Amino acid sequence: MPQIVAETEINADIEICFDLARDIGFYAQSLKNKSEIPVDGKTSGLVEKGDSITWEVNYLGLLQHLTLEVSELKKPKLFVDERTDGSFKSYRHDHIFKEHDGTTIMVDILHFTSKYGIVGKILDSLILKRHIKRILITRNEILKQKAEELSKQ
């Protein structure tokens, strides 16, 4: 099962970072190529525990749907979304927030497994892991910029 870990240091209050990370509208707008858009369930606002969101995702030219449920939420330290339906066999994304010397450390830990047996495993390790990590890092940089801008106001 591929794992992606991304750590981002942000010069902003932990609450600002936490709320931006769980803001569906901000998340959808932060992706430059609009490769993920919310299409069903909770499609705007801040996610809470138990919320379900169906995303239309375009990974490598393949249009798919992925339904995630927020399975854990501990403000402002953690929220977890997990696959309940869609093209992945499994998907779990832990969003972790820590305070350190006046900054917020945002840690994303993402585990996923594609369907499609051995072909899916090859796709996961050779292509999809790198593609998803690139999207995650891009999104985190945009979140960092927005959070630091908001913290200056």
Write the CATH number for 76: 3.30.530.20
Q: In this predicted structure, what is the pLDDT of residue 128?
A: 84
Q: Is the pLDDT at 131 greater than 70, yes or no?
A: yes
As a whole number, mean pLDDT of residues 130-142 equals 91
| Number of separate domains in the chain | 1
Mean pLDDT of the region 91-110: 97
Q: What is the pLDDT of residues 27-80, one digit of tens each?
A: 888 765 567 888 999 999 999 999 999 998 877 677 889 999 999 999 999 999
Mean pLDDT score, 99-112: 96
Region 5-28: what's the mean pLDDT? 95
User: 14: domain range?
Assistant: 3-152
pLDDT of 101 reads 92
What percent helix, strand, coil does the chain show, rounded to 5?
A: 35, 45, 20
Report the predicted TM-score, pTM, of the whole model to 2 decimal places: 0.91
